[in-house]
Amino acid sequence: MRVLILGGDGYLGWSTAMYFSRRGHEVAVVDNFLRRRMHLERGTDSLTPILSLHERVRVWQSLTGQNMATYIGDLQEWAFVERVFKDFQPETVIHYGEIPSAPYSMIDVHHAVQTHQNNVVGTLHVLFAMRDYAPNAHLVKLGTMGEYGTPNIDIEEGYIEIEHNGRKDTLPFPKQPGSMYHLTKVHDSHNIHFACRIWGLRATDLNQGVVYGIETDETRLDDRLLTRFDYDEAFGTALNRFCVQAVAGIPLTLYGKGNQTRGYLDIRDTLQCVELTTLNPPPAGKMRVFNQFTEQFSVTELAYAVQKAATALGYTVEIAHYENPRIEMEEHYYNAKHTALLDLGLKPHLLSDTLVESMINRVTQFKDRIIEDAIVPRIRWKSGDQMQKVQVVEKLVPSSNGRH
């Protein structure tokens, strides 16, 4: 299959490119290195040292004999997108090529507008290019569980059956996203739904939870193939950050009450899910939605899990309650359906099996690269004063068994 991977220099995109290439698919990757430039802007970096895309492709080709084409350019440039689609003629388009950070999108008006333009315009260009040059291709689009927010009812997989004034219909599930970034994903979902209804395209919107893990079967071949791993306040997710903080001896940055609950999955399960989705496309005219995660945890549960695992390795780990820089529900109902990918054959990895080997041990390997100043949160959802550090409210010192 000819598989076009948009955002192929990123955390998930690079891992996916190797995964599909190793399975004999013809892979091309698109990227404009925006993620690397955003780190330059903020003075932060991936914990794992990553080679340039071209160097990684050369290493991949020398180790496996598989070719991988690269297209360097911006999805916001129509002429570029048009050229890629005409030239490569993809059968599947896996779209990771967006700004993925909620905090980055909340820094100020400029970062909010940048995130909206980049994500929404890029995806619109992809949809028009599919309409004009690859109408039978399958779009596998990375959305997010955060599109739904935290409603006080069960979350369905994309659609909900509603009875209203005696009439019934199945409609897109209501969306209440919690950041400017998450909002862009909602806008994308509407645009994709429109393109399927009106132009007869086929698409799967993968509403993914938070991904963790550094290792995949492909990165294990050679450290020069490593993918990025971020832990700074803008691009690091809570679990990545907790692992780095535990190793660096910095109290874990738990925001607010800590009962914010989300869906999580191992990076190897992202690869499985995207492959299962790709091999089982929907019919023309349909936008399918899968909720892509395997386990759900509160941030407090994550902090305790990291504390326990790191304590067993000899680290002393404190947990600090920070005043919450975000506006979000800190206690809420959360029950999201996620059976569609399991029905297609997904075999989940569990956090308890991954945390030490694929995360804390790897973080330890690269601990000299930790930039401590990048960890303390400064970006706030509301205040105009971004420079004042968010304060610690309470520190919890661990007992010998790692519980409090």
- Which residues have a catalytic role annotated? 144, 181, 185
Smallest gap from Cβ 205 to ligand USQ, in A, equals: 13
Do 21 and 27 form a contact (C-beta atoms < 8 A)? yes
Residues from 82 through 111 that contact ligand USQ (CB under 6 A): 100-102
Q: Is 238 in the site for ligand USQ (CB under 6 A)?
A: yes
Q: CA distances (Å), 227 to each of 74, 216, 268, 276, in order? A: 21, 9, 12, 22
Q: Is 158 in the site for ligand USQ (CB under 6 A)?
A: no
Q: Angle at CA 140, nearest 5°, toward 274 and 122? A: 130
Q: Which CB, 233 or 275, lies closer to ligand USQ? A: 233
> Of these, 209, 213, 251, 281, which contacts ligand USQ (CB under 6 A)?
209
State the greatest distance between any 2 C-alpha atoms of the chain, in Å, as a whole number: 64
Q: Is 299 in the site for ligand NAD (CB under 6 A)?
A: no
Interface segment toward ligand NAD; rule CB under 6 A; list 171-179, 208-216, 274-282, 308-316: 208-216
Q: Is 398 left (phi over 0), alpha (psi -120 to 50) or beta?
A: beta
Do 375 and 244 form a contact (C-beta atoms < 8 A)? yes
Residues across the chain: 404
Q: Is 281 in the site for ligand NAD (CB under 6 A)?
A: no
> Of these, 28, 183, 192, 210, which contacts ligand NAD (CB under 6 A)?
210
Helices 109-116 & 180-199, crossing angle to 10 degrees?
20
Q: Which CB, 212 or 304, lies closer to ligand NAD? A: 212
DSSP lists the bridge partners of residue 71 as: 30
Residues from 17 through 36 that contact ligand NAD (CB under 6 A): 30-35
Number of neighbouring beta carbons within 10 Å of residue 297:
20
Distance of alpha carbon 225 from alpha carbon 223, whole angstroms:
5
What string marks each residue from 63 to 92 as x (binds ligand NAD by CB under 6 A) or -?
A: -----------xxx----------------
Q: Is 100 in the site for ligand NAD (CB under 6 A)?
A: yes
Distance of alpha carbon 203 from alpha carbon 304, whole angstroms:
38
CB-closest chain residue to ligand NAD: 10
Do 42 and 131 form a contact (C-beta atoms < 8 A)? no
Smallest gap from Cβ 226 to ligand NAD, in A, equals: 13
Q: CA distances (Å), 26 to each of 23, 48, 70, in order? A: 9, 27, 12
Q: Which residues bind ligand NAD (CB under 6 A)?
A: 7, 9-13, 30-35, 74-76, 96-100, 118, 122, 142, 144, 208, 210-211, 228, 237
Q: Which residues bind ligand USQ (CB under 6 A)?
A: 100-102, 144-146, 209-210, 237-238, 241, 253-255, 260, 262-263, 299, 326, 328
